[in-house]
Structure 1
Amino acid sequence: MKKIELHLHLEGAAPPAFIRSLAKEKHIDIGKIFDEAGNYAFDDFWHFLKVYEAATSVLTRPEDYARLTRAVLEQSAESGVVYSECFLSPDFCGGRDLGAWREYLHAIRETADDAGRDTGVTLRGIVTCIRHFGPAKARETARCAAEAAGEFITGFGIAGDETAGKPADFAWSFDMAREAGLRLTAHAGEWGGPQSIRDCLRDLRVERLGHGVRAIEDLALVDELAEAGTVLEVCPGSNIALGLYPDWRAHPVRALYERGVTVTVSTDDPPFFHTTMQNEFDRLHAVFDGDDAVLDRINRNALDAAFCDADTKARIAKLLEPGHV
């Protein structure tokens, strides 16, 4: 099955072997972030954020991001992904300096184009500010996003610790991104409850929500999401790995779908959570009792919600047609 992924952090998709190798090349000691098997090791979501940032610390040059982009696209292709949107943070790509950001972005995009021809994966970028870095840095990130808006950079969002600050603190940044023509998404309803979703919808006016699964705790909100057509970028494997839900049967993805919410499925930070897009769809197949039509609908939801131009969307749609090789 050809797959569409909308919620993937570029640094979070870095294979641990790739990060270990890069750290060794640069003589940087980050051994504590790995377990004995060489996988990323963390205790909870907040520890995960620290491990994530430690892993990202070895990515210090545009060429590092070029190598990372190719590794991630090759990884995606193995799961049958043909279109992917990844979150890019100028915080990590040049410290929000516009000149440096342009160099990093050029390296990422050039590699995405080359690797896309080799792997068959079309990549687009969503510039993402980091919530726990604060509103002032988010404004600098928004300027980077606005400066780069175009065919490749098509969206703007916010990630990080949902408990840090309020969505309204970042309204200026989202307004700037909106004025630049960027589509908008925001992480909410993962570690923040239903109110975090309401706050993002009201104050940031986004059309998609990263995760959003805790809407299930407020059925009136669920019905509002369904009626408005708000898209949820659901990442079940991530939620389960971080302890938000104990297993797939307890995860609300089916309940949300059955109440009419437009759900999509992605991996978030796949090597951190020991998952792939193929694994997500395999498990989803079991959750929906083997109903292939549901998986097709969820996949097409993702294409409909993709932040790309109409021509790209039409091209990808042809790849999803039955019998297409």
Structure 2
Amino acid sequence: MDDVSDPVEGFRPVAALPKAHLHLHFTGSMRHGTLLELAERDGIRLPASLTEEWPPELSTADEKGWFRFQRLYDVARSVLRTEDDVRRLVLEAALDDAADGSVWTEIQVDPSGYASRFHNMTEFTDLVIDAVRDASERAGIGMGVVIAANRTRHPLDARALARLAAQYAGRGVIGFGLSNDERRGDTREFGPAFAIAERAGLALVPHGGELRGPAHVTQCLDHLHPSRLGHGVRCAEDPAVLDRVADSGVALEVCPTSNVSLGVYATYEEVPVRILTEAGVDVALGADDPLLFGSRLAAQYTILRAAQDFSDVELAELGRMSIRRSYAPAELVQRSLAGVDTWLETPPDDGR
């Protein structure tokens, strides 16, 4: 932790705190208003949980609950029908993150979910990378793409996506992930896909340790060799696993709103961010799927301030952790870390 000598405590605006957004899903980044507009354009009937009852009440305590969550995600994906739709989604996500203080955003996408509508996976990946490049320039933030496999599909599909990601390494794609219901599939069987990505020099950022407990975190460490783990919060339940995560240097992408919305924790007070950081684990806060959870990046910091009394010094360190554990260019990292120091040196506001 950087040395901060006796700073003035108070409430500085969290949206002005420089930070990196390392856990953001492609379709889930869509603005709610954009979803409604695109659905109306094409006559797509949305369920009430995505219209007048938005944000939806969700729970993934069982597979039925996850199915309902995934169904809403699939409905949202169905409104993306043109190249302009994709470009609009990416630009709006970049603008929203910029407004929330993100200096670097890594957006995660599974091209196989869009391949049929956009000709094939390669053409869709080209489109996303070009959209990200344009949005990055227009929003004034850095951006990278993570290609993610779906653990509910065959591990051979994951290998195909890893090879696709490897082709784009250094050309917009910075990492390879594994998402969807972590209770499905055998984590060990996805190891070969991650080996392909690792040989290509990509960041390895699978999901794990959210819907399943500490044993699944261990499986991810053993077989996927992550540099960061999406969620990973359940490692806090086992001191030995927590120590292993800390000793291995694996960072965790923690998404408080997602954790509570999906029923992993009953309240924001229970999300174990302090337990993780006090054990020596780097934590990067993320919004996961703002479209379904109803809150974006800055809100994750505000939640910890309100629910767990995080000070501005602590929030600043979380901002630093996210920036350090990003795959942003070195110059952007250094400039942004200096920006965190400037934020902390600025006198606080009277309110939140």
Distance in 2 (CA, whole Å) between partners of 1:246 and 1:322 is 35
SS of the residue 1:158 aligns to: strand
Number of the residue aligned with 1:16 = 32
Distance in 2 (CA, whole Å) between partners of 1:108 and 1:160 is 20
SS of the residue 2:183 aligns to: coil
8 Å contact from structure 2 (residues 144, 173) kept in 1:
yes
RMSD: 2.3
Note the residue ranges of structure 1 that are not aligned, 5 or more in a row: none
Alignment of 1:1-325 (within 5 A): 1-40=17-56, 42-44=58-60, 45-46=65-66, 47-95=68-116, 100-322=120-342
Structure 1 residues 95 and 173: alpha-carbon distance in aligned structure 2, compared to 1, 3 A threshold: farther
Q: By how many angstroms is 1:4 displaced?
A: 1.2
Q: By how many angstroms is 1:287 displaced?
A: 4.6
Q: By how many angstroms is 1:33 displaced?
A: 5.0
Distance in 2 (CA, whole Å) between partners of 1:96 and 1:126 is 20
Q: By how many angstroms is 1:316 displaced?
A: 3.7
1:254-296 CA distances to partner (integer Å, 9 max, x unpaired)? 2212222211211111131121222111122235534222111
Q: By how many angstroms is 1:200 displaced?
A: 0.7
8 Å contact from structure 2 (residues 287, 295) kept in 1:
yes
Structure 1 residues 9 and 54: alpha-carbon distance in aligned structure 2, compared to 1, 3 A threshold: same
Q: By how many angstroms is 1:89 displaced?
A: 0.9
Structure 1 residues 228 and 84: alpha-carbon distance in aligned structure 2, compared to 1, 3 A threshold: same
Q: By how many angstroms is 1:235 displaced?
A: 0.5
Q: By how many angstroms is 1:13 displaced?
A: 1.1
SS of the residue 1:198 aligns to: helix
TM-score (norm 1): 0.91
Match for 1:244: what amino acid?
Answer: V
1:80-121 CA distances to partner (integer Å, 9 max, x unpaired)? 222111101112231599x73333233333333333233222
Distance in 1 (CA, whole Å) between partners of 2:341 and 2:320 is 11
Structure 1 residues 289 and 32: alpha-carbon distance in aligned structure 2, compared to 1, 3 A threshold: closer
Distance in 1 (CA, whole Å) between partners of 2:145 and 2:251 is 18
8 Å contact from structure 1 (residues 90, 96) kept in 2:
no
SS of the residue 2:309 aligns to: coil
Q: By how many angstroms is 1:10 displaced?
A: 1.4
1:189-227 CA distances to partner (integer Å, 9 max, x unpaired)? 000111111001101111111000111111111111112
Count of paired positions: 324
SS of the residue 1:296 aligns to: helix
Distance in 1 (CA, whole Å) between partners of 2:126 and 2:161 is 17
Moved more, 16-25 or 1-10: 16-25
Q: By how many angstroms is 1:16 displaced?
A: 2.3
1:51-92 CA distances to partner (integer Å, 9 max, x unpaired)? 112211222333321111011112212212221111011122
Distance in 1 (CA, whole Å) between partners of 2:335 and 2:239 is 37
SS of the residue 1:82 aligns to: strand
Distance in 2 (CA, whole Å) between partners of 1:119 and 1:17 is 19
Match for 2:138: what amino acid?
Answer: D
Q: By how many angstroms is 1:156 displaced?
A: 0.3
Distance in 2 (CA, whole Å) between partners of 1:239 and 1:199 is 21
Work out which structure has the larger RCO, using CA pairs closer than 8 Å and 6 or more positions apart in sequence: 2
Structure 1 residues 228 and 35: alpha-carbon distance in aligned structure 2, compared to 1, 3 A threshold: same
SS of the residue 1:171 aligns to: helix
Note the residue ranges of structure 2 that are not aligned, 5 or more in a row: 1-16, 347-352
Moved more, 259-268 or 31-40: 31-40
TM-score (norm 2): 0.85
Percent identity for Structure 1 against Structure 2: 32
Match for 1:61: what amino acid?
Answer: T
Distance in 1 (CA, whole Å) between partners of 2:117 and 2:236 is 36
Moved more, 120-129 or 301-310: 301-310
1:219-263 CA distances to partner (integer Å, 9 max, x unpaired)? 111111112221010011110111111111122112212222211
